[in-house]
């Protein structure tokens, strides 16, 4: 009988222990990725969306006109101009993330967002420097838009590529859940500001407080994102290309040449992803004040409570999609928005109470979460690793630029010039129809 010589350093079960340790480390890295990326994303989107909550006061300070509606439209046009820069940010930062890594791209987006927020926070009013004042606001918004253009593709790729195969939907759902968290932070700050300061104080200087708070993004975001590891998928792709002697192509050109169908279907999916939140969450606090006579405190309280449902609903929907499939949950979400939004708006018009406003806003957020909680994972899965960040950024930001960023300005114009009732509801219903068509055309999810 052949004698078996045991390695004195080995022990029975060592392989099993090593596997368990490796799995534990991988799970720990995944949890850190979710916490850090989501927290950084929430801070970044807080800076981006708080502008909409204080658009009325920004309009009064920087866009001089005797007509308050024109002031508001000017403020929202500057809000929308930030979205013009988003495709450029998507092209540059998405490509940068595919070439240099997800972590490098996310760190860059944080610093650009902080710089844009700083410009808005310190910009002198029109009365002090004239036309230079709105120009500073526009510059700040353009920087914010450029930064946000790369955020969705980079952050989603980062979360999906850190996730176990059976939890990709749950991990990716934290992208949109963290946007719900940012809306909660924004609504909380807005509620406190409108509660503790008079309208004159807010108009004069207190509107700057939310933006000053938002500057915390720079040190907090850098600290969190510098502690993250690069994603395993990106490392594997780099190693594969190096081993096979493949030279990296320009990711943007590659995704346009090789994935035109994915880009088109991804754009269709992103139409509702853009229109829903911007119409029913970001624009609603302004809409219910201007069109339905609610106070700022009532509107911000409803937004605060509603976004709790958005945050929880996104994670719930993402988890369901891991079990029942992305397409099924997306269809349920899009159909629910198509059927329910208009009746809810009619109820709010007929029952003019704070309780009804809170219930309706919470319902809007819950319905939107069914769709947007799953959309990031669904979109990420149709693009290969090598061009995932570029493909997602291009698809999503094209839709957001066309249908999301200018939604508040478009809806303000429709509401006050045409007299069409419930314009936000009709806008979302149209987007839901486009999304349902796109879902039926989505390519099969990729395994890489």
C-alpha 325/C-alpha 432 separation (Å) is 19
Q: What is the mean pLDDT of the chain?
A: 80
Task: Specify whether the CB–CB gap between 345 and 424 falls below 8 A.
Answer: yes
Q: Among 151-160, 173-182, 264-273, name the one with the lowest average pLDDT.
A: 151-160
Residue 299 has pLDDT above 70, yes or no: yes
C-alpha 101/C-alpha 95 separation (Å) is 10
Residue 303 has pLDDT above 50, yes or no: yes
Identify the pLDDT of residue 269.
Answer: 92
- The CA radius of gyration of the chain, in Å to the nearest whole number, is 23
Identify the pLDDT of residue 8.
Answer: 47
C-alpha 136/C-alpha 144 separation (Å) is 12
Identify the pLDDT of residue 355.
Answer: 96
Span 53-64, average pLDDT = 80
pLDDT tier, 268 (very low <50, low <70, confident <90, very high otherwise): very high
| DSSP class of 446 | P
Residue 379 has pLDDT above 60, yes or no: yes
Q: Tell me: the pLDDT tens digits for 161-191?
A: 777 878 888 888 888 888 888 878 887 888 7
**More confident call, 132 vs 8:** 132
Which of 18-27, 140-149, 199-208, 214-223 ranks highest by mean pLDDT? Answer: 199-208
Residue 5 has pLDDT above 50, yes or no: no
Residue 388 structure tokens: 């995932």
202-215-403 Cα angle (round to 5): 80
Q: Tell me: the pLDDT tens digits for 83-118?
A: 778 778 877 877 777 777 777 777 788 888 888 889
- Asked if the 28-441 domain carries CATH number 1.20.1250.20, the reply is yes
Overall pTM surpassing 0.85 (yes/no): no
Residue 435 has pLDDT above 50, yes or no: yes
Q: Give domain limits for the chain.
A: 28-441
Identify the pLDDT of residue 30.
Answer: 64
Alpha helices in 197-259 (DSSP H): 199-204, 209-214, 217-226, 232-243, 251-258
Whole-Å CA distances, 195 to 188, 192, 240? 10, 5, 57
Q: Which residues contact 4 (CB under 8 A, 6 or more apart)?
A: none
**For the chain, percent of residues with pLDDT exceeding 70:** 81
Whole-Å CA distances, 71 to 68, 129, 280, 382? 5, 18, 22, 42
Task: Specify whether the CB–CB gap between 370 and 332 falls below 8 A.
Answer: yes
Residue 17 has pLDDT above 50, yes or no: no
Using a 10 angstrom Cβ sphere, with 0-12 exposed, 13-18 middle and 19 or more buried, the burial of residue 126 is: middle
Span 308-331, average pLDDT = 94
Q: Tell me: the pLDDT tens digits for 382-431?
A: 888 777 877 887 888 888 877 776 777 778 777 777 767 788 899 999 99
* Closest-CA residue to 43 (of 164, 208, 223): 223
Residue 245 has pLDDT above 70, yes or no: no
C-alpha 78/C-alpha 88 separation (Å) is 17
Buried residues in 34-72 as b, exposed as e (16+ CB within 10 A): bebbbbbbbbbbbbbbbbbbbbbbbbbbbbbeeeeeebb
pLDDT tier, 50 (very low <50, low <70, confident <90, very high otherwise): confident
C-alpha 3/C-alpha 49 separation (Å) is 71
* Closest-CA residue to 273 (of 181, 343, 372, 194): 372
């Amino acid at each position: 009988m052949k004698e078996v010589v045991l390695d004195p350093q080995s022990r029975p079960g060592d392989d099993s222990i090593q596997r368990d340790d490796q799995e534990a480390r991988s799970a720990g890295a995944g949890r850190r990725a979710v916490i850090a990326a989501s927290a950084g994303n929430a801070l970044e989107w807080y800076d981006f969306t708080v502008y909409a909550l204080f658009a009325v006061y920004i309009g009064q300070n920087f866009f001089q006109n005797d007509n308050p509606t024109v002031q508001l439209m000017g403020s929202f046009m500057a809000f929308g101009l930030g979205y013009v820069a988003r495709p450029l940010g998507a092209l540059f930062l998405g490509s940068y993330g595919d070439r240099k890594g997800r972590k490098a791209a996310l760190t860059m987006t944080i610093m650009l967002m902080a710089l844009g927020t700083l410009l808005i926070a310190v910009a002198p009013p029109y009365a002090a420097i004239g036309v230079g004042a709105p120009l500073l606001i526009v510059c700040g918004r353009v920087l914010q838009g450029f930064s946000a253009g790369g955020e969705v593709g980079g952050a989603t790729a980062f979360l999906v590529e850190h996730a176990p195969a059976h939890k990709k939907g749950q991990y990716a759902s934290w992208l949109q859940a963290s946007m719900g968290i940012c809306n909660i932070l924004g609504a909380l700050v807005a509620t406190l500001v409108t509660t503790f300061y008079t309208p004159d104080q807010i108009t004069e200087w207190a509107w700057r407080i939310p933006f000053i708070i938002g500057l915390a993004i720079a040190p907090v975001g850098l600290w969190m994102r510098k502690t993250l590891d690069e994603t395993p998928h990106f490392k594997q792709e780099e190693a594969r290309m190096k081993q096979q002697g493949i030279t990296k192509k320009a990711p943007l050109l590659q995704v346009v040449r090789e994935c035109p169908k994915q880009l088109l279907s991804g754009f269709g999916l992103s139409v509702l992803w853009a229109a829903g939140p911007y119409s029913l969450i970001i624009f609603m606090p302004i809409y219910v004040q201007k069109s339905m006579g609610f106070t700022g405190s009532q509107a911000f309280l409803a937004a605060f409570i509603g976004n709790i449902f958005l945050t929880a609903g996104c994670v719930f929907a993402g988890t369901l999609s891991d079990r029942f499939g992305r397409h099924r949950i997306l269809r349920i979400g899009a159909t629910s928005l198509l059927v329910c939004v208009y009746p809810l708006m009619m109820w709010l018009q007929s029952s003019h109470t704070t309780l009804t406003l809170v219930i309706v806003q919470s319902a809007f957020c819950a319905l939107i979460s069914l769709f947007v909680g799953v959309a990031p994972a669904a979109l990420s899965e149709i693009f290969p690793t090598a061009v995932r960040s570029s493909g997602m950024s291009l698809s999503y930001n094209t839709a957001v630029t066309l249908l999301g960023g200018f939604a508040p300005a478009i809806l303000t114009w429709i509401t006050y010039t045409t007299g069409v009732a419930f314009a936000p509801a009709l806008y979302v219903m149209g987007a839901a129809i486009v999304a349902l068509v796109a879902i039926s055309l989505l390519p099969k999810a990729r395994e890489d």
